[in-house]
Structure formats: C-alpha cells, structure tokens
C-alpha cells in the first residue's frame, strides 16, 4: 500500500508541470484575421488591362458618415469590408466623372482560425451587381473571400483617354 501511495504521489508531481505547460494563454496570433473583399479595376475596352482610377471615394450604402476611401489617388484596387451580420453589402463608389453603387450578395461561414486568433468570417460570393454609370460590368473571379490576398471581383470601367 505504501508503494502504491508513493507511486501515485510521484505520478501526480510529474503530471502537474505538464498540465500547466499545456495551458499557454500567451499564444500570439500571427495569422491575418481580416477578410476584406478585394475589387480590382480594369479597362472595359481591354479586359486584361488594369485601370488606374485618378481618385475614388467609397462608403457603405446608408453609411455616408464612414468613408472607406476618401478621395484616394491612383487606385487600381480597393479592399472593402463585408457585413458579417447580413448576406448583402452595398457600396457607393464615387469616381471623378460619376458614381455607381455595387451590391455584393454572399453567404457567411464563421471559422475558428486558432486559439490565439479566435474566429473570423469567411464569405462565398454569389452575385455582384452594379449601376452602369462609370462601371461597365463586374465579374466574380474568386468567390471565396478568406484571409488571403486574392482579388475577388473585377470591375470594368471606362478609362479616360489623355487629352491630345
């Protein structure tokens, strides 16, 4: 019996440090937890040519007070936050000559990245539709909006020709 008690005590003393080392609350998140929608601008006359927008202002429809881009210069791509509480988000894009509204329809999936990083929302795009003032067309290139750097939507616009 004494041997058994001594053995149990040694086992308990050996396991206590293991228990504390497995509960490390100082895990640092090194992953990108943001999942913005990446929209690239392209020339409507040459779908493979990137378009440079002289200046652009972008805000969420109904949220004029919270600008995402405020007169940003020489832009070829914008990163837009999708609403993680709804399945649609609309943005107003103000170009130098005109303005358009683009509406994105998607589904959401809450995903655990890690203990240190916590949860994020991944999206699957199903439709992108816009008004046709400056935007000629929009095309979903990558429907999975996750924490990577891929472009998701191509927006084709009229590129101003230089004055001669």
Give Cβ neighbours of residue 26 (< 8 Å, ≥ 6 apart): none
What pLDDT digit, counting tens, does each position of 35-51 carry?
Answer: 999 999 999 999 999 99
Q: What is the mean pLDDT of residues 96-114?
A: 95
Q: What is the mean pLDDT of residues 49-56?
A: 96
Residue 32: per-residue pLDDT: 81
Of 88, 104, 89, 102, residue with least CA distance to 56: 102
Residue 8: per-residue pLDDT: 61
In angstroms, the CA 164 to CA 162 distance is 6
Residue 62: per-residue pLDDT: 86
Band (159; pLDDT cuts 50, 70, 90): confident
Q: Per the confidence metrics, is the pTM higher than 0.75?
A: yes
**84 vs 18, more confident:** 84
Q: What is the mean pLDDT of residues 3-15?
A: 65
Check pLDDT > 80 for residue 60. yes
The number of residues making up the chain comes to: 164
For the record, the structure tokens of 38 come out as 């990446």
């Amino acid at each position: 019996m004494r041997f058994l008690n001594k053995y149990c005590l040694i086992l308990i003393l050996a396991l206590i440090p293991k228990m504390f080392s497995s509960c490390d609350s100082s895990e640092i998140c090194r992953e990108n937890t943001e999942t913005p929608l990446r929209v690239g601008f392209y020339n409507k006359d040459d779908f493979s040519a990137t378009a440079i927008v002289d200046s652009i202002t972008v805000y969420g429809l109904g949220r004029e007070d919270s600008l995402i881009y405020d007169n940003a210069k020489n832009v070829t791509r914008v990163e837009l936050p999708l609403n993680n509480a709804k399945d649609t988000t609309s943005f107003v894009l103000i170009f130098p000559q005109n303005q358009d509204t683009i509406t994105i329809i998607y589904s959401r999936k809450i995903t655990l990245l890690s203990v240190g990083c916590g949860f994020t929302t991944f999206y699957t795009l199903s439709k992108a539709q816009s008004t046709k003032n400056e935007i000629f067309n929009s095309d979903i290139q990558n429907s999975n909006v996750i924490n990577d750097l891929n472009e998701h939507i191509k927006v084709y616009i009229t590129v101003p020709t230089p004055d001669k």
